[in-house]
Structure 1
Amino acid sequence: MKIRTKLILFTSILITFILFCLLAVTHIQFYIVRDYAYLENKAVFKSLQDEFQQYYAHHDESWEGIQNSSFEHSPPFVEIALVVDGDQLYQKGQLSLENIMEGGFQLKIHSNDRVVGKLYVMNESQYKTYEFRSIWYNILPNIILVSLLITGVAAVFIIFLLSWTLTVPIRKIIKGIDTVKMGEPEVILPVHRKDEFGAIARALQEMNDSLANLEQSRKQLLSDVAHELKTPLMIMQGEMELAQEMETTLSSEKISSLLDEVLRLSRLVHDVLDLSRLEAGGTELRPTTENIVAIIKGMVEKIMFLAEDKQIGVSMHISEGVIDVSVEKSRINQAIYNILINSIHYTNQGEQVQIRVARIYHAARQSKYACITIEDNGVGISAKDLPHIFNRFYRADHSRTRPSGGTGLGLAIAQQNILVHQGWIDVQSEVGKGTTFLIYLPIPPSI
Structure 2
Amino acid sequence: MKIRTKLMLSMSILIAFILLCLFFVTHVQFYIVRDLAYAEQKAAFEALRDEFEQYYTDHKASWRGVQDYPFANSRHFAEIALFENGNEMYRKGRLSPEIMRDEAFSLILHANDRKIGRLFVMNERQYKTYEFKAMWYGIFPSITRVALLFTCIAALVTISLLSWRLTAPIRKIIQGIDAIKMGKPHPALPVHRKDEFGAISRALHEMNESLEKMERSRKQLLSDVAHELKTPLMIIQGELELAQDTGLALPPEKLSSLHDEVLRLSRLVHDVLHLSRLEAGGMTLRPASENIVAILEGLIEKAQFLAEEKHIRISMHPSKETIAVPVEKHRILQALYNIVINAIHYTERGGQVQIRVEQVYQPDRRMDYVRITIEDNGVGIPEEDLPHIFNRFYRADHSRTRSNGGTGLGLAIAQQNILLHQGWIEVQSKAGKGTAFAVFLPAASGDFVGSGRGL
TM-score of the aligned structures, taking structure 1 as reference length: 0.94
SS at match of 1:348: coil
Query: In the alignment, residue 102 of structure 1 is paired with which amino acid?
Result: D
| Secondary structure, counterpart of 2:384 in structure 1 | coil
Partner of 1:101: 101
Distance in 2 (alpha carbons) for counterparts of 1:443 and 1:183: 46
2:243·2:249 contact (CA, 8 Å) conserved in 1? yes
- 2:451 counterpart residue number: none
RMSD: 1.9
Q: Please say which of residues 2-11 and 331-340 is displaced more in the overlay.
A: 2-11
SS in 1 for 2:180: helix
| Residue identity in the other structure for 2:163 | S
Cα offset for 1:112? 4.9
Shift of 1:191: 2.4
Structure 1 distance, partners of 2:223, 2:114, is 107
Matched, 1:88 2:94: no
Aligned ranges 1:366-385 → 2 under 5 Å: 366-385=366-385
* Correspondence for 1:262: 262
Q: Secondary structure at the match of 1:143?
A: helix
Residues 1:167 and 2:161 aligned together:
no
Q: Quick check: 325-334 or 224-233, which moved more?
A: 325-334
DSSP-derived class of the 2:74 partner: coil
Q: Distance in 2 between matches of 1:153 and 1:8?
A: 11
Write the distance in 2 (CA, Å) between the matches of 1:84 and 1:361: 98
- Any idea what SS the aligned residue of 1:183 has? coil
User: Residue 289 of structure 2 contacts residue 444 of structure 2 at CA under 8 Å; is this kept in 1?
Assistant: no
What's the offset of the Cα at 1:238? Answer: 2.4
Call closer, same or farther: CA 1:129–1:393 in 2, change over 3 Å: same
Q: How many residues are treated as equivalent by the alignment?
A: 447
Give the deviation of 1:285 after TM superposition. 2.0
Structure 1 position 233 matched with structure 2 position 214: no
SS of 1:380's equivalent in the other structure is coil
Specify the alignment match of 1:330 in structure 2: 330
Q: Which moved more, 1:68-77 or 1:36-45?
A: 36-45
Structure 1 residue matching 2:108: 3-state secondary structure: strand
Greater alpha carbon shift after TM alignment, 14-23 vs 67-76: 67-76
- 1:181 deviates by 1.9
Q: Give, in angstroms, the shift of residue 85 of structure 1.
A: 2.8
Mark the CA change 1:335 to 1:54 in structure 2 (over 3 Å): closer, same or farther: same
Aligned counterpart, 1:302: 302
**How far did 1:352 drift?**
2.1
Whether 2:333 is the aligned partner of 1:352: answer no
Normalising by the residue count of structure 2, what TM-score does the alignment of the two structures yield? 0.93
Equivalent AA in structure 2 for residue 294 of structure 1: A
**Cα offset for 1:148?**
0.3
Residue 121 of structure 1: how far off its partner (Å) = 0.9
- Letter of the 2:267 partner, please give it: R
Q: State the alpha-carbon separation in 2 of the partners of residues 169 and 23 from structure 1.
A: 40
User: In 2, distance between residues paired with 1:421 and 1:284?
Assistant: 11
Q: CA deviation at 1:115?
A: 4.1
Correspondence 1:72 to 2:72: yes
**1:204 equivalent in structure 2:** 204
Deviation at 1:113, TM superposition (A): 5.0
Amino acid at match of 2:257: S
Q: Spell out, residue by residue over 1:161-205, the C-alpha distance to the aligned partner (whole angstroms, 9 max, x if none).
A: 122122222222222222222223342222233322222222212
1:91-134 CA-partner distances (Å, limit 9, x unpaired): 11111111122221222223455543322111112111111211
Matched, 1:178 2:187: no
Larger deviation, residues 134-143 vs 307-316: 307-316
1:381, 1:55 → 2: CA distance?
120
Matched, 1:427 2:427: yes
Partners of 1:113 and 1:367 in 2: CA distance:
91
**CA distance in 2 between partners of 1:86 and 1:347 (Å):** 119
Task: Give the corresponding residue for 2:412.
Answer: 412
Report 1:30-69 matches (<5 A): 30-69=30-69
Residue 387 of structure 2 is matched in structure 1 by: 387
Shifted more, 147-156 versus 189-198: the winner is: 189-198
The residue aligned with 2:121 is 121
Contact 2:108 2:117 in 1 (8 A): yes
SS at 2:75 equivalent: coil
Work out the CA distance in 2 between the residues paired with 1:111 and 1:257: 133
Tell me the residue number matched to 2:26.
26
Tell me the distance in 2 between the aligned counterparts of 1:307 and 1:180: 52
Change (3 A) 1:186 1:114: same
CA distance in 1, matches of 2:244, 2:257: 17
Question: SS of 1:385's equivalent?
Answer: helix
Instruction: Tell me by how many angstroms 1:335 deviates.
Output: 0.5
Tell me by how many angstroms 1:65 deviates: 3.5
For the residues of structure 2 that align with 1:311 and 1:160, how far apart are their CA atoms? 82
CA distance change for structure 1 residues 292 and 115 in 2, over 3 Å: closer, same or farther? farther
Counterpart CA distance in 1 for 2:313 and 2:115 is 118
Equivalent residue letter for 1:219: K
Alpha carbons of structure 1 residues 445 and 86: separation in structure 2 relative to 1, 3 Å: farther
Rate the CA distance shift 1:114–1:414 in 2: closer, same or farther, 3 A: farther
Write the distance in 1 (CA, Å) between the matches of 2:315 and 2:128: 109
The answer to whether 1:10 aligns with 2:7 is: no
d(CA) in 1 for partners of 2:381, 2:109: 107
Structure 2: which amino acid aligns with 1:356?
Answer: R
Q: What residue in structure 2 maps to residue 271 of structure 1?
A: 271
Q: Which runs of 5+ in 1 are unaligned?
A: none
**Range with greater deviation from structure 2 (135-144 or 381-390):** 381-390
CA distance in 1: counterparts of 2:353 and 2:117, whole angstroms: 114
- How far apart are 1:84 and its partner, in Å? 2.7
Give the counterpart letter for 2:410 in structure 1.
G
State the 1:62 CA deviation: 4.1
Which stretch shows the higher mean deviation, 6-15 or 65-74?
65-74
Map Cα deviations across residues 280-319 of structure 1 (whole Å, 9 max, x no partner): 1223222222222211111111101211221222111111
Structure 2: distance between partners of 1:2 and 1:113 = 70
CA distance in 1, matches of 2:248, 2:124: 134
Secondary structure of 1:82's partner? Answer: strand
- Distance in 1, matches of 2:134 and 2:278, equals 84
Q: Equivalent residue of 2:90, what SS?
A: strand
TM-superposed CA distance for 1:409, in Å, is 0.5
Q: 1:237 to 1:143 in 2, by over 3 A?
A: same
**AA paired with 1:206?**
E
Q: Higher mean Cα deviation, 17-26 or 285-294?
A: 285-294
Q: Give the letter aligned to residue 375 of structure 1.
A: E
- Tell me the secondary structure at the aligned position of residue 166 of structure 1: helix
